[in-house]
Structure 1
């Protein structure tokens, strides 16, 4: 599967997984960057949530890219 950008504004960029059961979000806060993964309970993999805070954008984006690979699933 792949990820599709579904939201972009001055603070948030969000991607949705092709199956519609998971999202990734990069958010710029007043003092930090936040990356979060959220998978719905309807997913065959079950529910999951992970969130991390970063002081710099580069590290946040590196984590986001790693999570895109980590939380991707093969289409059957």
Structure 2
């Protein structure tokens, strides 16, 4: 499966997994960077959520790239 960028503005960049059941978000806030993974209840894998905060943008983006691989699933 793949991830498609669905939002990109001055604060948030968000990607949606091609099955539509999961999103990844990178958000710049007043206290650093926040990365979160959110998977819907309807997903065959079930509900899932993870989030982390970072002071450093590079560390946040590295985690985002790791999660894109980790939370990818094979096409049916």
- TM-score of the alignment, normalized to the shorter chain, above 0.5: yes
Deviation of residue 31 (structure 1)?
1.8
Answering whether residue 71 of structure 2 is matched by residue 62 of structure 1, we say no
TM-score by length of 2: 0.99
Corresponding residue for residue 35 of structure 1: 35
The structural deviation recorded for 1:38 is: 0.1
Show structure 1 runs of 4+ deviating over 6 A. Answer: none
Paired residues in the alignment total 76
Q: Hey, what's the Cα distance between the residues in 2 that align with 1:24 and 1:55?
A: 18
Distance 1:60 1:29 in 2: 12
Q: Please, what is the CA RMSD of the aligned residues?
A: 0.4
The runs of 5 or more residues in structure 1 that have no matched partner are none
Which blocks of at least 5 consecutive residues in structure 2 are unaligned? none
User: Residue 2 of structure 1 aligns with which residue?
Assistant: 2
* Superposition TM-score, scaled by structure 1 size: 0.99
